[in-house]
Amino acid sequence: MPLSDASRSKLTAVSTATITTVLFKRGFRNVFISGVGLINPKAPRMVGPAYTMRYIPSREDLDTLSVFEDRSHPQRKGVEECPAGAVFVIDSRRDPKAASAGGILVTRLWKRGCAGIVTDGGFRDTPDIAELPFPVYHAAPAAPTNLIRHHAVDLNVPIGCGDVPVYPGDIIVGDREGVAVIPQHLADEIAEEAFEQTVFEDFVQEQVEAGRSIFGIYPPSPEAKEEFARWRAAKGR
């Protein structure tokens, strides 16, 4: 069930804050990846299905620089196989003491048309990565190679990232606040409801900036609902 263009478009126009509220209405409390931030000041919004990689702790005899000569090494294979439009999401066990990936691999994902990359660990070459027009989220800069702490073991299995469950195909949305995870089967309805909620909050924000009290409009009274309907019609939204 690929993400529809309509839903992708709506999700690009809403905030992770609004998405988490809409998911909370359906009982989801743990959908915002904690402890990660955006590296790239000029990156576009990130929206796409999750393609995942799992790290376990490294072992001195297995994790040497020679492993990268094997094209089936999951980190390298994943970077070449993550579909265009997808978000590469990495379970690094919240450990930013070694890199989940570096500038060359991130550049490759960007050039391959992926939608972004997220780790609950850290990336290396972050001064260069920060210049890319590509959304990259991590916990902290991590110069050392992944081999010092991480062993890539699986591609596209369910993982935890920042204490949030991520299943392959879940819709990952990132803005300047952080990263939200939408269960795949709910993507369309969340996109729709979050979009509607955003229009309403834009109305409220405009009113509050004009000096109005939050009482009566946030949440809205029946009168405020009518007022919003008129505002919306007038704005053509």
Q: Which of residues 60-79 bind a copy of itself (CB under 8 A)?
A: 60-61, 65, 68-69, 71, 76, 79
For 99, residues 6+ apart whose C-beta sits below 8 A from its C-beta are 121, 122, 123, 124, 142, 143, 144, 145, 146
Task: Find the shortest distance in angstroms from Cβ 233 to a copy of itself.
Answer: 22
In the shown chain, the binding pattern of residues 88 to 127 toward a copy of itself, with x for contact by CB under 8 A and - for none, equals -----x-xxx-x--xxxx-xx--x------------xxxx
3-state secondary structure of 25: helix
d(CA 164, CA 227): 38
d(CA 16, CA 174): 7
Cβ-based neighbour number of residue 209 at 10 Å? 8
* Among 9, 163, 226, 235, interactor with a copy of itself by CB under 8 A: 163
Question: Does residue number 45 form part of the binding site for a copy of itself (CB under 8 A)?
Answer: no
Nearer to a copy of itself, 2 or 37 (CB): 37
Residue of 2, 9, 37, 42 that binds a copy of itself (CB under 8 A): 37
> Does residue number 143 form part of the binding site for a copy of itself (CB under 8 A)?
yes
